[in-house]
Amino acid sequence: MCWRIVFTGLPEPSLSLEAAIGSGTNDPGSLLSPEVIRSFLPLIEQLGIATVEQVQIETLRERVRAEIMAIGAVTILPALIGAWTKLRNNWRPSERGLPVIPPRRPPNLDTA
């Protein structure tokens, strides 16, 4: 990722990596996992993996949390990577062969 930003002619970026981690009542996995399953529920049913009745989506969060607490597990959500850079005063995209995109004007809502 870093080389892509530098390749564009932008200054070298600052990078960060963060992942939520927790256990017990502060467990992030029991909050996110049921919502991920909920979004995949039509596909889960279509592929014959389980039915809506078998998944019991409305109680899945509580069941996942109870299981995590029962075994003393720690859950870690996927890591998220961020990158940002600060433009120097003399940075000009046109000097680096990059297209200059003019700023967009908001639509005039007064004319109807």
State pLDDT tens for residues 40-51: 999 999 999 999
SS3 87: coil
Domain span holding position 47: 21-87
Decide if pLDDT at 1 tops 60: no
111 part of a folded domain: no
Mean per-residue pLDDT over the chain, rounded: 82
Is residue 46 situated within a structural domain? yes
For residue 12, is it within any domain?
Answer: no
Q: How far apart are CA 79 and CA 60, in angstroms?
A: 24
Whether the CB-CB separation of 20 and 77 falls below 8 Å is answered with: yes
In a domain, 97, yes or no: no
pLDDT higher than 60, residue 112: no
- Span 52-74, pLDDT tens digits: 999 999 999 999 999 999 999 99
- Number of residues that this document lists for the chain: 112
Domain count, the chain: 1
104 in a structural domain: no
